[in-house]
């Protein structure tokens, strides 16, 4: 139980500070840290990440760090496109998928460190408004691309959403983080509903993990609203590199499929 609390708090802190890290780490944390079977870890992680994302976004709502209509467009289109990505995933060798995902994360992390495509554009006008004539097609494109890749790679979209929102939509890093949390919460809710009947959940572990994650995300979310955008973007980029290395190691260690 102590392990569940510690790992849950860590997941919550990552979500609260950076808007990502929860979904890709929650499953291995539950499987290897608490001994939960994979069939139960997947829906449990979606429950934890969904509730934690909702909690983490609350401080950001108060300071205006959410673009609600952008979140709605990206979330809806991404949910639809994820089915296509999942279909393609079934046709590929898992190691190929993992290597592709690791490479994608490295590219995104490097671009965020360089600041390519800095904040500003149709989705983030200087006065704080949005030019929907230009922003809408871009948001749909990001939703389709990120949703497809999320379905293809079988992981949460936080690591893809934030770079896409910063680099392609021009949102400042704190706003991209807040907006991505809304999308992650929506996707996690839908995913939990789809998986909840697969197996019986250990609600004692799930409750402890979720409670710790909620506390961690709430505390970290309040702290994140006071951090400069460059520090947030840099922190997220380095976290992306760590996860890319983790995924690459998984790809190397995975047995070949025939």
Task: Evaluate whether residue 238 is within a structural domain.
Answer: yes
Query: For residues 131-155, b (16+ Cβ closer than 10 Å) or e, as one string?
Result: eeeebbebbbebbbbbbbbbbbbbb
Q: Is 5 left (phi over 0), alpha (psi -120 to 50) or beta?
A: alpha
User: Which of 2, 3, 11, 1 is CA-nearest to residue 220?
Assistant: 11
d(CA 110, CA 91): 29
Residue 73 has a pLDDT of 94
Question: Best-predicted range by mean pLDDT among 137-141, 213-217, 244-248?
Answer: 137-141
d(CA 204, CA 143): 35
Task: Evaluate whether residue 103 is within a structural domain.
Answer: yes
What is the value of pTM for the model shown?
0.74
Higher pLDDT, 123 or 74: 74
Task: Evaluate whether residue 258 is within a structural domain.
Answer: no
d(CA 207, CA 221): 20
What are the pLDDT digits (tens) for 32-73? 788 888 778 778 887 888 888 888 888 889 888 899 999 999
Which residue range forms the structural domain that includes residue 80?
2-253
Residue 148 has a pLDDT of 85
Residue 102 near residue 147, CB atoms below 8 Å: no
Q: Please give the tally of structural domains in the chain.
A: 1
Angle, helices 229-253 vs 94-114, to 10°: value is 160
Task: Evaluate whether residue 229 is within a structural domain.
Answer: yes
Residue 22 near residue 14, CB atoms below 8 Å: yes
**Per-residue pLDDT for 140 more than 90?**
yes
Task: Evaluate whether residue 77 is within a structural domain.
Answer: yes
Task: Evaluate whether residue 31 is within a structural domain.
Answer: yes
Task: Evaluate whether residue 87 is within a structural domain.
Answer: yes
d(CA 175, CA 180): 8
What are the pLDDT digits (tens) for 177-212? 889 889 888 877 877 777 666 677 788 888 888 898
Task: Evaluate whether residue 108 is within a structural domain.
Answer: yes
* Integer-rounded Cα radius of gyration of the chain: 17
Higher pLDDT, 132 or 195: 132
């Amino acid at each position: 139980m102590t392990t569940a609390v510690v790992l849950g708090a860590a997941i919550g802190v990552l979500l609260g500070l950076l808007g990502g890290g929860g979904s890709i780490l929650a499953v291995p944390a539950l499987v290897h840290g608490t001994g939960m079977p994979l069939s139960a870890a997947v829906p449990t992680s979606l429950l934890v990440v969904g509730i934690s994302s909702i909690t983490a976004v609350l401080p950001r709502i108060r300071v205006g760090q959410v673009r609600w209509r952008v979140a709605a467009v990206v979330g809806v289109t991404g949910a639809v496109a994820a089915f296509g990505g999942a279909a393609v995933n079934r046709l590929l060798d898992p190691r190929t998928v993992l290597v592709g995902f690791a490479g994608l994360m490295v590219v995104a992390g490097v671009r965020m460190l360089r600041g390519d495509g800095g904040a500003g554009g149709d989705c983030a006008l200087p006065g704080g408004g949005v030019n929907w004539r230009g922003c809408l097609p871009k948001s749909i494109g990001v939703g389709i691309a990120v949703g497809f890749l999320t379905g293809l790679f079988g992981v949460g979209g936080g690591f893809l959403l934030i770079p896409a929102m910063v680099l392609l939509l021009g949102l400042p890093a704190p706003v991209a983080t807040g907006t991505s949390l809304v999308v992650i919460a929506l996707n996690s809710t839908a995913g939990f509903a789809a998986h909840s009947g697969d197996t019986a959940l250990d609600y004692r572990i799930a409750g402890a993990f979720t409670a710790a994650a909620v506390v961690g995300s709430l505390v970290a979310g309040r702290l994140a609203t006071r951090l400069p955008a460059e520090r947030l973007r840099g922190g997220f980029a380095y976290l992306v590199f760590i996860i890319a290395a983790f995924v690459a190691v998984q790809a190397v260690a995975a047995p070949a499929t025939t």
